Amino acid sequence: MNKILIRAVFIFLITMVITSATTSSVNAMADYYYDSNGRLVQVELLTGEIIEYQYDQNGNMISKVTKRLSNSYPYTFGSEQGANNWFYQVWNGLKYEDMVWDSQKARWQGKYSWDVITDKWMHPDTNNTVLKWVAPHKGYINIKGNVKKHPINRLGDGVKVKIMKNNVKMWPESDWQLIEGNDGIGVSHNINLNVAEGDSIYFILNQNGDISYDATIWNPIITFKESYVSEFGNQQGVNNWFYQSWNGTKYEDMVWDSQNTRWRGGHAWNLITKEWLHPDTNDTVLKWVAPRTGSINIKGKVSKHPINLLGDGVKVKIMKNNTKIWPAQDWTFIKGDDSVGVIHNVNVNVTAGDQIYFILNKIIDLSYDATLWNPTISYFQ
């Protein structure tokens, strides 16, 4: 039986698949963001690192800074179960069992010879090989990663993978995701879900049929994000989100409409639901309050609701306290028939208590102004 060689020197060809600011390819190794002049301003890597580029007035790059999401849990290999909330296990068909550390080979070993996790690859055997992450607190998480065959194991019948939250499958939609035996590019996952403290996320690797040539590379990263949709409910301030309107002079809290399960402002169409927002004479506003001092990334897309693709459109902006931080001009206009929308990706420093406002304006006519906008906020270092 041909197996992966443990001690070897490998040269890896890393294929970077470029994605636009409006979509993310399932096979993407990184996300690339450009400004209105077509200049690269940010790259987000699967490792959780963010690379920022800044330019002078002549378009010359003047700085390149690498940062890391501070509330992220990249899979980091080590000899201790539970370090950074990661565990090394197998699934025997009935239950999960912890692997044992093999100090001689510096890797984790399950019951069978090829139930193995190393710092470079995983390998299944009769049992499935499993990475487990345990949520340290409740919240809304993003799980991003790429699964592919190891460069010197691109033969055989391939492997199968899936992601579970406790006993519920989160990815893929089918029972398993097949990684073909010769697949050196792999398949990417990028999913969002809510977790409670103590929830377990399982990354499960199955041999498919034959364990030959099954060494697999899988380095997931989990990041906590702030999202109003994940915390939407009948209370103001849950997870730092508030539902308001702007009357031209001040912000006012909306009132919960229990009959229609949505927030309502001072006018009939000042509304926020879990799916969409709608302005009226007053602007409709989502507000987030910074729980601590730091640097945050504000990412999202604004588009018209698919059944409201008429009218004169809406306009939007993001404020930090009394200062506009997006867009560069006064407002961004979303046309009445714009179902594709506009992306924002903004980095800004905040002090505990700073307020971030996502403001939706009707332009002139409030007809057909239902708008999709689900921003996410992440702290980074």
Q: Which sign does the torsion angle of CA 246, 320, 35, 230 carry?
A: negative
Question: Which helix (H) or strand (E) is 231 found in, with range?
Answer: helix 228-231
pLDDT of residue 164: 98
Output the pTM of the full model: 0.66
Distance of alpha carbon 271 from alpha carbon 279, whole angstroms: 7
| Residue whose pair of structure tokens reads 């109003």 in the numeric block | 228
> Residue 87's closest CA among 51, 63, 128, 117?
117
Lowest mean pLDDT among 12-26, 96-110, 166-180: 12-26
* Strand stretches in 75-137, DSSP E: 86-91, 96-98, 100-102, 107-109, 116-117, 122-123, 128-134
> Residue 35's closest CA among 315, 283, 344, 363?
344
Share the mean pLDDT of the chain: 86
pLDDT of residue 39: 81
| Residue whose pair of structure tokens reads 């930090």 in the numeric block | 320
Structure tokens at 345: 């990706």
Q: Answer with the residue of higher pLDDT: 381 or 16.
A: 381
**What does the DSSP assignment read for 261-330?**
TEEE-SSTT-EE-SS-EE--SSEEEEEEE-SSSEEEEEEEEEEE-TT---SS-EEEEEEETTEEEE-SSS
Confidence bin at 208 (pLDDT 50/70/90): very high
pLDDT of residue 143: 93
pLDDT of residue 71: 59
- For 27, residues 6+ apart whose C-beta sits below 8 A from its C-beta are 17, 146, 185, 186, 187, 188
Q: What is the pLDDT of residues 87-122, one digit of tens each?
A: 999 999 999 999 999 999 999 999 999 999 999 999
Say what the alpha-carbon torsion angle 164, 169, 171, 176 is, to the nearest 10 degrees.
Answer: 100
> Residue 24's closest CA among 36, 16, 32?
32
Q: What is the pLDDT of residues 263-310, one digit of tens each?
A: 999 999 999 999 999 999 999 999 999 988 988 999 999 999 999 999
Is residue 147 scored above 70 in pLDDT? yes
